[in-house]
Amino acid sequence: MADDITQAIVYLSGAQITRARKFRLKEGINKITFKDLPEDMNGQSITASSDGRCVVLSVSHTVVNAGAGNKRISGLYAKREELSDMLKMERNMFNVLTEEENLIRKNAQTPDGRVFRSEDMKNAVLFFRERMASLCNEKFASQKKIEKLTYELSEIESQIGMDDRNKRRSQVDIEVHSDSDSESELTISYFIRNAGWIPYYDVRVKDIVSPLSLSSKASVYQNTGEDWNNISMVLSTGNPSLSGNLPDLRPWYLDFYEPYVSNARMKQSFQAAPLAKVSADSLKECVAEDCKAPIEADRFAASTAESVASVEYTLPVPYTILSSENGKAVDILTHELKAEYQYICVRKLEKDVFLVADVKDWAHLNLLAGSANIFFEDKYVGEITIDPRRAEEGLRISLGRDKNVIVTRVRGKDHTAEPMLGQSTKASREWTLTAKNLRKQKIDIIVEDQIPVSVNKAITVDAAAVSGAEHDRDTGKLTWKFSLDPAASKTMQVKYTVTYPKNKTVILE
C-alpha cells in the first residue's frame, strides 16, 4: 500500500520513509500489522508512534513471502491466464480462416478435361472475389488482434517476472494498548537504501554587469519497488549509509623494504615486482547527470534547516517519484549572487577566450560537488563541474567561450647564433600577443603565456621582453591583467634567448 507513504527524507544515498495507517482498536492489547513493505528496509531503523489514542508496546520486523496472498500478484496471474486463453482462441480462428482460404483456392482450379459454362464461370468468379476479399479482411483483423494480445501478454509476463523477483516483502508487527474501543492512526518510519539524489546546478548570467543566478537542483531516484505518490519530500545532504565508527589512528612503523623473492624465482634470477601505486585520479568522485529543468518562481523554493551533520531542504510542494524512474528533476533554491567577471586566455594552448565569474560570498550556500548547466545571454553554452571542495577564497565558475573577445598570438622572427670559437649556441624566440574587445562593455581580462625554465645548468634562459607581465621565474608563467574599453586593443611582446651547448638539441617552442 504505497498510498500510505506520507513523507520521504531522501539522503545522498538512501531514504527515511514515513507511512501512516488508521486502525480500529479494541480495549486492551491489539496487534497491528503493516504488510507489503519493501523487503530491503532496514529492520533496525524502524520506529513507531501513535496519535495519542493508544500506547505502542513493541515493534517487530519480519520478511515474508508475498505469494498468492498478494492481491496484485494474484490479479496479474489471473490476467495472464485470461490473455493466454484469448490468444489461443484468436490463433485458432486465424487457422480456420487460412484453411477456408486454401480450400477455396483449391476448388477454384479447373479439373482436367472440364470446361465451365460462361454462367457458371461468372458465378464462380463472383463468389471467389467476394469471399476471398472477406477472408483477407477477417485474417488481417485477426492478425492485428493476435499482435495486440501478444504485446499485452508480454507486458503482464514482464510485471509478473518483476514481482516474482520481489516476492519477498517486509512486515512490521506492532503491539499497542488502548484504553477503549477507538480508531487510531499509527505511524512507522524506516530507512531504505535503494534511493537517493544527485545534486546539479543551473548557472544563468544575463550579461557581464548583472548578478549571477545559481539554481540548486536535484535528480531524485528510487528503486524501492513501490511508487511515491504525491508525498512530502525532504532532501538531506547527510548519508546514513556511511559508517559512524570513529577511525583509530595506529602507529606507522618504518623499516627497510626488501621485496620477497620465492626460491623458484631466485634460481631463475627473477626479482619480485614492486607494489602497484594507486593514482589520485582513480579515487576522484564523479556525478553523472543529465537533467535540465527550468527555473521556477521563488515561491517554490525549498526551506533550509542546518544541523551539525547535514543540511535539509524541505520542498514546498508534494512530489511523485516512480520506482525505477531515471531521476526526477527537482528545484531546491535559487540564489542571486554578486560576481566579478573577467576574461582569461591562454593563447598558446587555446585560441578562444573564456569568461569566468568569481563569486566571493558563496560559503553559506552549502554547495555540493555536481555538474552545472551554463546559460549566458539566454543561450546554453555547455556544462562544467562545480566542486566547492577545491574552492579557496572565491568560487570560480567558467561561463564558456566568448567570440566577442579576441586574442591573437603571432610569431616573430627567430634568430640563432653559433659563434665560431665558442662552444654555445644562442637562440631567440619572440611572439606578439594582441587582445581586442568587440563587446559594448568594458571588460577585465587576464592573458597568460610562458617563458621556458631551465632544469639543466648548461642551459640558460634570459627573458628579453615581457611587456610588464608578472613573471613567475620558478614556473616561467607570464600574466597580464588589464582592462579593455569597447573596441580597444592591447599588444604584448614576449621574447627570450636560450643559450646551450652547440652540440646539443633543445626544443624551444
- Give the tens place of pLDDT for each residue, 447-459: 999 999 999 888 9
Q: Between 255 and 140, whose confidence is greater? A: 140
Residue 170: what are its φ and ψ, rounded to 5°? Answer: -90, 155
In this prediction, residue 103 carries a pLDDT of 78
From 243, 83, 224, select the one nearest 148 (Cα to Cα).
83
Band of the pLDDT at 264, cuts 50, 70, 90?
very low
Secondary structure letter of residue 12 according to DSSP? S
Contact 53, 184 (CB under 8 A): yes
Percentage, residues of the chain above pLDDT 90: 44
Does the structure show a pLDDT above 90 at 165?
no
**How much is the pTM?**
0.64
Contact 369, 289 (CB under 8 A): no
Percentage, residues of the chain above pLDDT 70: 81
Does the structure show a pLDDT above 90 at 173?
yes
Contact 311, 236 (CB under 8 A): yes
Average pLDDT over residues 305-331: 83
Number of H helices, E strands in the chain: 3, 27
Average pLDDT over residues 206-228: 91
From 45, 13, 324, 358, select the one nearest 172 (Cα to Cα).
45
Band of the pLDDT at 419, cuts 50, 70, 90?
low
In this prediction, residue 212 carries a pLDDT of 93
Average pLDDT over residues 291-316: 63
Average pLDDT over residues 429-440: 94
Q: Between 218 and 112, whose confidence is greater? A: 218
- Fill in the amino acid letter for 156: I
Band of the pLDDT at 283, cuts 50, 70, 90?
very low
Band of the pLDDT at 279, cuts 50, 70, 90?
very low
User: 64-78 pLDDT, tens per residue?
Assistant: 876 545 566 677 778
User: 8-47 pLDDT, tens per residue?
Assistant: 999 999 999 999 999 999 999 999 999 888 888 899 999 9
In this prediction, residue 70 carries a pLDDT of 58
Mean residue pLDDT across the chain: 82
Relative orientation angle of helices 71-107 and 118-165, to the nearest 10 degrees: 160
User: 344-357 pLDDT, tens per residue?
Assistant: 999 999 999 999 99
Burial track 445-470 (b if 16+ CB lie within 10 A, e otherwise): bbbbbbbbeeeeeebebebeebeebe
Question: In this predicted structure, which of 161-170, 344-353, 456-465 has the lowest mean pLDDT?
Answer: 161-170
